[in-house]
Amino acid sequence: MLSIAITGANGQLGQSFRATAPLFPGLELKYFNRTEFDVTNQTVVQEAMDFYRFDYLINCAAYTNVVGAESNIEAANLLNGVAVGYLAQAAQKNKTHLVQISTDYVFDGNKLEPYRPTDLTNPLNVYGQSKLLGEQLVAQYCDRFSVIRTSWVYSEYGSNFYTKIKSRADQGQTLWITDEYIGTPTYSPDLAEHILSGISKDNLPLGISHFAGKDVMTWFDLARKLLPGADIRVAPKETPPLLVNRPKNSALAR
């Protein structure tokens, strides 16, 4: 039976793995929150990896506050970049297959079509830069790895676009949602199932790949899809200065 570590187990994707795991009885998943496995502590990372000797490590620990990253550059780079380097070095030493979750925000959004894994990266914000650093460190330290970029992840778990707008809608609020950006919204349990299926079948893509929803849409479109009965309206166009620069098109092609 393959042994799999899940870091960041209390987050949205970590909870999605818990929900999806029963579909894969041949896999043994062990979940770690930050107090149990602090990925930002290199000594802890190396000792844990030496002790457990997992077949796979799926890193769900991440700094995901895109706006907050702009004023917390060091924290974003530590969790999304430097810590990933620690995991990559430990994975290489123990012959563990590292699965790193990355983002559509490594792109600048100037392309007219969905981005492919081979397209050039050019992140516009600190969050995207920190996630790109993580990608680069994985490739630097690991011989066998899977970096999976995804887009606009949502679910009923944790804090994300869906749970935030649902809370406001449940309170009877009008939802003002932007239609200025396009992406490929991804249901978090679908991403978890994609990864576990790839591991169980031994065909998880190596190197950099994309996994995202099949439909290209705006945040406004997604809100209407998720909450068809809510009062949802197009938000006024954003005007400078913006809190953070975001790619206008971050749709991903698989």
Which one from 31, 127, 141, 162 is the annotated catalytic residue? 127
- Give 233's strand partners: 176
Which phi and psi angles does 15 have, rounded to 5°?
-65, -30
State both tokens at 3: 């042994």
Helix orientation angle between 42-52 and 83-94, rounded to the nearest 10 degrees: 30
Does residue 56 contact residue 197 with C-beta atoms inside 8 Å?
no
Q: Could you confirm whether 105 is annotated as catalytic?
A: no
CA atoms of 177 and 32, how far apart (whole Å) = 35
Q: How far apart are CA 66 and CA 243, in angstroms?
A: 10
Cis peptide before 25 (omega within 30 of 0): no
Token representation of residue 39:
């990925």
Crossing angle, helix 126-141 and helix 83-94, to 10 degrees? 20
Give dist(CA 76, CA 98) in Å, integer.
20
A 10 A CB-CB count for 219 gives 20
Where in the sequence numbering do the catalytic residues fall? 127
